[in-house]
Chains A and B, each alone.
Chain A
């Protein structure tokens, strides 16, 4: 079950350097603004192929 997280918790995760931040925005919206170091996989493209480079055991 996905765990709800607040901004302080996600900030701490990002600072660990092991978190994989995924945004699921349309490309144009992602280009305007996104969280630091976030990668973008638009929701409609979220599948096994588009996430294959991500570590399944890391946050």
Chain B
């Protein structure tokens, strides 16, 4: 709602008027559901599985390696205690010295997108650039999940 609308409601005698200034854009970017015509369009937040392997900055690579193997994964996402994405560890970095820390091994600042991004657009953009794994975060940088471009492409194919 706009501040003008909130004030108008007060002048009309409403006693408990709340103003969600950030509005629909903020709501959608957090992955919360919307209703309406666009609600049925697949978004980047839809195919997330929530089984990401994560670790903290100060954990050793030995611990990370064990966790990744146990999950059958090939990447670990480094988070703060609040779930904010700091980096990720994969490939050669993941096979490095077991005594080093996640902080030392990670690649910082990975690409992220919001969960309300149109899935088809994300697949076209990232698939075209060769980036096949994209992290999905809310507007605070908190991890929501990993978008696998190949899986998303399959999903779009089966949806059409």
Query: CA–CA, A47 to B13, complex, Å?
Result: 11
CB distance from A26 to the nearest CB of B (A): 12
Query: CA–CA, A37 to B27, complex, Å?
Result: 14
Q: A33, B39: Cβ atoms under 8 Å?
A: yes
Among residues 13 to 71 in chain B, which have CB atoms less than 8 Å away from a CB atom of chain A?
13-22, 24, 26-28, 30, 32-39
Q: A51, B36: Cβ atoms under 8 Å?
A: no
Interfacial chain A residues near B20, Cβ < 8 Å: 5-7, 10
Interfacial chain A residues near B14, Cβ < 8 Å: 51, 54, 56
Q: A31, B5: Cβ atoms under 8 Å?
A: no
Interface bits A1-22 vs B (CB < 8 Å: 1, else 0): 1111111011101000000001
Interfacial chain B residues near A51, Cβ < 8 Å: 9, 12, 14
Contact of A2 with B19 at beta-carbon distance under 8 Å, contacts A7-B32, A23-B1, A35-B24 already known: yes
CB of B3 within 8 Å of the partner chain: yes
Size bin of chain B's contact surface: 20 to 34
CB of A53 within 8 Å of the partner chain: no
**Which among B1, B12, B28, B34 is the interface contact of A47 at CB below 8 angstroms?**
B12
Q: A24, B36: Cβ atoms under 8 Å?
A: no
Interfacial chain B residues near A43, Cβ < 8 Å: 2, 4-5, 8
Interfacial chain A residues near B3, Cβ < 8 Å: 2
Q: A34, B36: Cβ atoms under 8 Å?
A: yes
Contact of A36 with B35 at beta-carbon distance under 8 Å, contacts A23-B1, A43-B2, A46-B5 already known: yes
Question: Which 4 residue pairs of A and B lie closest in terms of their CB atoms, listed nearest first?
Answer: A2-B6, A33-B36, A5-B18, A24-B5
Residues of A within 8 A of B (CB): 1-7, 9-11, 13, 22-24, 30-38, 43, 46-48, 51, 54, 56-59
